[in-house]
Amino acid sequence: MIQHLFPFALSKKMILTLGISTRWGMSQSEVKQSENLKIHREDKDRVYYKDKLFGHEVVISYAFHNNRLYQAAYILSKNKFSSNEEYVNTYNKIIDALTDKYGEPNVEGSSSIFKISGTKWIIGNTEIFALLGDLGHCGITYTNLEIKKEAEKAKEKRTLADARFLS
């Protein structure tokens, strides 16, 4: 069971901390050493764990760019809920807990293209996004905006290089 409802906290320097030792920019091996749970799945840029949140199974995902932690996510699957009402109530509990911890959100909205509704907080260089998806999932992502921007630029360069190769 996750020891703290949302263990991520922002220090005065706006560095993400999980418990005492996990911070933005940590390597994949450092994050694995700091996590108490058994690894569920792992690949080059992600490590996955399973735990419980509000009594429901949650997949915890850590994402890395250039072996630096830039995103952590808690994702609950809709098919694990007994009813749609329970699913929506769990999302509302997430929003309440995040609002209690971080204050009123910066943005609320939805996307008909991706079939999600969401609530976002921006605190320093960290984006906290609570999502409710029509496609069967809800959860929270914590993203370091600086490293995410680096990852997006690198992806764009790879896409351009691939396009040049194919032409």
30 and 64 Cβ atoms separated by less than 8 Å? no
Query: Which domain does 74 fall in, by range?
Result: 8-166
Q: What does the pLDDT read at residue 22?
A: 75
Q: Is the pLDDT of residue 28 over 90?
A: yes
Residue 1 lies in a domain: no
Residue 2 lies in a domain: no
* Strand-by-strand arrangement of the 46-53 sheet: 39-43, 46-53, 56-65, 68-77, 137-144, 126-133, 116-123, 107-111
d(CA 35, CA 37): 6
The pTM (predicted TM-score) of the whole model is 0.79
Q: Dig out the tokens for 57 from the structure.
A: 């199974």
- The structural domain count of the chain equals 1
Residue 89 lies in a domain: yes
Residue 3 lies in a domain: no
Residue 153 lies in a domain: yes
- pLDDT tens by residue, 39-79: 999 999 999 999 888 888 889 999 999 999 999 998 888 77
Q: Is the pLDDT of residue 166 over 90?
A: no
Q: For position 147, which CATH number holds?
A: 3.40.1000
- pLDDT tens by residue, 105-162: 988 776 555 567 888 899 888 989 898 887 677 889 899 999 999 988 888 877 766 6
Residue 105 lies in a domain: yes
